[in-house]
Structure formats: C-alpha cells, structure tokens
Structure 1
Amino acid sequence: AQLQEERKDHQDYILSWIHDVKVPIAGSRLIMENGAGKPAEVLIDKLEDELGKIDSYVEQALYYSRIDAFSQDYFITEVDLPAIAKDSVKKVAKLFIHKRIRPNLEEVTHSVSSDSKWLAYIVNQVVANALTYTGSGGTITFRSEESDAEKRLLIQDTGIGIPPEELGRVFDKGFTGSAGRTHHKSTGLGLYLAKQMALKLGHDLSITSAPGEGTTVTLHFPKVRRYNDLRG
C-alpha cells in the first residue's frame, strides 16, 4: 500500500511539474511572437525571466529525485551562513529589483556544520517563497542567532502572512494554502522539500506568521549531532 502511495505521489508530481514548466515555455513563445519592433534588450530581459523559471523547476525536479538517495549525496563541512544568504539573494537578484524588495543581510554572522549544496537549496526555497508573498517595497531580513543548544538562521519577510489555521500545514506535501491559490499557481512542494532536506541533515525548519504581519522561517542547527545517524 505504501509503495502504491509513493508511486501515485511520484506520478502526481510529474504531471504537476510538466504543467508548471509548460507555462514559462509558452510564455517564451509569446514573447518571441509578439516581439516584432521591440528593442532586443527588452526581449532578452523577458526571456531571461522565463528561462529563470524553467531553471528553478528543473532544479526542483533534480533535488526531488535525489531526496530518496540522500545518504549517498551529502558532505558535511563548516558552512558560512553569510555566504549562503548572499548567494541566495544573488540568484534571484532580478526579482528583488523588479519587486523593489530590499534584502537585509547585515545580521548574519555564524557558520554551521552542514552540506553546502543542500543547505543552499533549502535557503533558496525559503527565499523564493518569501519573494512570492512579499509586496513591492517590502523587506526580507536574514539573521543568525546562537543559544546553548543550537544555532539558527532566521529569514523574515514583510509579506501577507499566513492564517493561523494554515500555519501547521505549510510543510505538508502539496499544500498551497489560500495565498497560493489566489497569488499564483503553486505545486506546494518548495517548503515540503526544504523541510524534508533539513530533517535529513539533522536540522529543522519552523515557521511563525500572522496575516498582514509577515512570516519568519527559522532553520535550526542543533549543536549536539551524530553524523552517523543521518540516513536517507
């Protein structure tokens, strides 16, 4: 029964992914068809946006396919959180500029034990989500903290927030919530994948939010770790 369910999940994901990736492909065709007489710079800029969407979908599919074989695909080192935060902003710099959202990186200082590739993907998913639900002129703030038990990376946005009744479900597979339904087509896999990866690395993800007050996603890095316990 579990195998059948996993198979169905896999098929559902593939169908959803195909639907999603066709949207920017169709968008690219429209840009080319309607591009007569427009400056090349404008067309290139728009096409780059669509290619960026395709690239993010392909990356998501790659990580989705790897998650079951995780134990063979990670390497724990000391990872610099300021560098991870800076790279995540750089990756979607055009979106920050386009939406006039200000990234604040001044309060990130710590380094943590993690896999840099997987950690970067987790942070990228959280940032992509924050960008989607933060309006023009908002701010996304990165902050790191340390206590006796753990280090934390907090990513805080000034976006629309999440209703209390949906907060406990944001990491569920396929959950998009009311905001996802009204703002854009969403597979609801970004935060699900981020949470699963965090747990496999021995980290955790938590979220606090209120409608109209923004959202804070916290990545937890416990200090007492046994790397041998990491299992795919």
Structure 2
Amino acid sequence: MKQFWNTLKRYAPWLILLLIIDSFSSLLLWLSSVQAFASLVVTIALASLVLFSVIVLVLYFKEQHKRAIFRDFLMEPDEVNTEKLLSAVSQQEREQLQVLVSVLEKKQSRIQETEEALRDYEEYVEGWAHEAKTPLSLLTMILDNRADEIPPSLHAKLDYVRSQFQEDITQMLYYARLGSSTKDYRFEALELKDAIEEVLEDYAPLLEEKQFLIENRLQDETVYTDRRGFQFMIGQIISNSIKYSGAEPKLTVSLKHTGEMDILTIADNGIGVKNYDLPYIFQKGFTGDSTDSRKKATGMGLYLTKKMADDLNLKIEAESRWGEGGEGVTISIAFPKVK
C-alpha cells in the first residue's frame, strides 16, 4: 500500500495538469454555452479522474512487476534474470543497467573465487589437524606404554607438552569449523557430570602441573546440546583458568536451576579480570592488560567459546571479583529447558 501511495505522489503533477486543462476547457464551455457547461462539467471531471486512475494503476502494476524482476536479478544475477530485467525496462534504463550487470558479474566471480579459496583453506586446516594427530597419538601411546622407561620428571613434561599441543590443534580445528557454511552438530540429552569429567581428564596433566583442586558439585543433571561443541567450550574455559591461575588454584563446577534455564557455572580463583576489561573478554584477540601472565595469550579461547555458544543457542556470561576481597573468574553457561 505504501508503494502505491508513493506511485500516486510521483504522478500527482500530471493529475494537477489534467485538472488545469479540465478547468480551462470548462471555462471555454461555460463561455460558449452555460447550459452545456452545467450538463457536461461533472462528466468531464469524472472522466478525467477515471482516466488518471487507470493510468496510475497500470503504471503501478508495471513498476511492481519490474521491481520483482529486479529483486530476482539481485538475488541471482544469471543470464535468464538479466535478460528478463533488460526486456522489462526502457532503452535509457537498459544502457544504465548493462553497466550494473557488468559490475555485478565481476563481483559475483570474485565471490565465487573467494568461496572456493575458503573451502580449500578449510579442507587444508582440517587435513593438517588430522595429520598432526598421528604423531600426537604416537606420543600418547609412548607415554602410556613406556611410562616405566621414562624418568617421572621428563614424563610429566612430555605429558604437559602433549596436552598443550592437543589443545592448540583442537582450537585451530574448531576455529575453521565455526566459519564453515556446514555444521555437523548433533543435539542430544547430555549427562553434564560425565561430559565435564571427560574434559577434566584430557586436561589432567595441565591441571596437575599447576596443582589444581577440582570441586565438581554436579549430580546426575542432564542438558540438551551438542556433546563435542559443549566439551570444546568447557575445554577452553578450563584452559583459560589454567593460564591465569594463582596460588593454590581451585576450580569449582556447579549447576543451578531457574524457571526457564539450567545455568552451569565454572569458577576459578585465579588472577581475575579487571572491571574495565570484563565486557571485552569474549572479543576476538582481546587479552586485557599486558601483565606477564597475559603476554603470550592469543585472545582466541574465550572468543571461540562465545562463538560456539552462539551456534548452540546457549547464553554465556563472565563475572570477576577483582578488587572485592577475592579474585578469579566465573563463567556461566545457560541451557534453555527442553520440555
């Protein structure tokens, strides 16, 4: 309806011109014959209005048809839609549109080349990650089967390196997958305690190196989400707690229920985050102040965690107790309740 009124406003000057002509004709008719003027003036006015209305309607539907063709062309500027558009416009518009078609074809070609390059990049990253897992698996097998032949201090260091390498590969692989157009998520009922204990086991060498105290308060709670994506998030949160741990480090995992949400909290007692840094910790590349513990940070862990949470339709928030008599960071993940 708005478009119709816009069309009417566009052609309003022609209606005014037509009414002026009608008024002039009526004046001449009145001067020549008062009786003829009285009998024909209404007919002239109605005929002019009807003629104008018919012309406006025809032009309106013609513009609607042209707009639909143009919309199809913008959505898919192929040869068929291009030919339809050029045949629906005037010669003057056709010359201008040919320039637009040429520019769009070049941009479409560049987009296709970029998409192909992105697919090649994703395939390369995933292929490299899977290839890198082969020596990593070999190192794991050696550490498991020949632990008696390796000095305990060296075994602990190699296990630490293996865990760190495994985390870096996983982070890179998920970074590539999050940008992919295809997702392979599988949503299912997930036992929280078992899923988190698996992640804690993967990070056991890093946690033991820092002498973490783990307090897992979970019972037999179940949430509905993708297992791999969720465990990746938990792994990044735990890794962040390890990197920024303080003296006598502790990690507390708990769950609380609200009317519409189940909220998982993972709290540490590390160095914490300053108040002015807290709103930005989920941004890509953000590392906060340049203290010694953050100099080697990439700022990717929590960014990927937030991206994964968005993909899984989970709400994630962070709190810190900096300057309130205690320190540390608490990450909350809210799961919508499934009826």
TM-score (norm 2): 0.52
Distance 1:221 1:169 in 2: 22
**Are 1:221 and 2:335 an aligned pair?**
yes
Question: What does 1:41-60 align with in structure 2 at a 5 Å threshold?
Answer: 41-60=152-171
Offset of residue 179 of structure 1: 6.0
What's the counterpart of residue 177 of structure 1?
Answer: 288
Conservation of the 8 A alpha-carbon contact between 1:85 and 1:105 = no
* Post-superposition CA distance 1:137-156 (Å, at most 9, x none): 22100001111111111001
Conservation of the 8 A alpha-carbon contact between 2:177 and 2:183 = no
Q: 1:187 aligns with which of 298, 302, 309?
A: 298
**Are 1:167 and 2:278 an aligned pair?**
yes
After superposition, the Cα gap between the structure-2 partners of 1:51 and 1:71, relative to the gap in structure 1 and judged at 3 Å, is same
**Are 1:97 and 2:208 an aligned pair?**
yes
1:208 partner SS: strand
What's the counterpart of residue 149 of structure 1?
Answer: 260
Amino acid at match of 2:334: H
**Are 1:82 and 2:196 an aligned pair?**
no
Larger Rg: 2
Offset of residue 62 of structure 1: 0.6
Distance 1:180 1:188 in 2: 14
**Are 1:203 and 2:314 an aligned pair?**
yes
1:69 partner SS: coil
Conservation of the 8 A alpha-carbon contact between 1:207 and 1:217 = yes
Larger helix fraction of residues:
2
Consecutive unaligned residues in structure 2, runs of 5 or more: 1-110, 126-149
Offset of residue 186 of structure 1: 1.1
Question: What does 1:112-131 align with in structure 2 at a 5 Å threshold?
Answer: 112-131=223-242
Distance 1:223 1:95 in 2: 33
Higher relative contact order (CA 8 A, sep 6+): 1
Amino acid at match of 1:106: R
2:271 partner SS: coil
TM-score (norm 1): 0.75
Amino acid at match of 1:204: K
Conservation of the 8 A alpha-carbon contact between 2:315 and 2:333 = yes
1:168 partner SS: helix
After superposition, the Cα gap between the structure-2 partners of 1:218 and 1:49, relative to the gap in structure 1 and judged at 3 Å, is same
Consecutive unaligned residues in structure 1, runs of 5 or more: 15-38, 226-232
After superposition, the Cα gap between the structure-2 partners of 1:108 and 1:137, relative to the gap in structure 1 and judged at 3 Å, is farther
After superposition, the Cα gap between the structure-2 partners of 1:213 and 1:43, relative to the gap in structure 1 and judged at 3 Å, is closer
The sequence identity of aligned pairs, in percent, is 28
After superposition, the Cα gap between the structure-2 partners of 1:108 and 1:217, relative to the gap in structure 1 and judged at 3 Å, is farther
Larger strand fraction of residues:
1
Aligned pairs, number: 194
Amino acid at match of 1:219: I
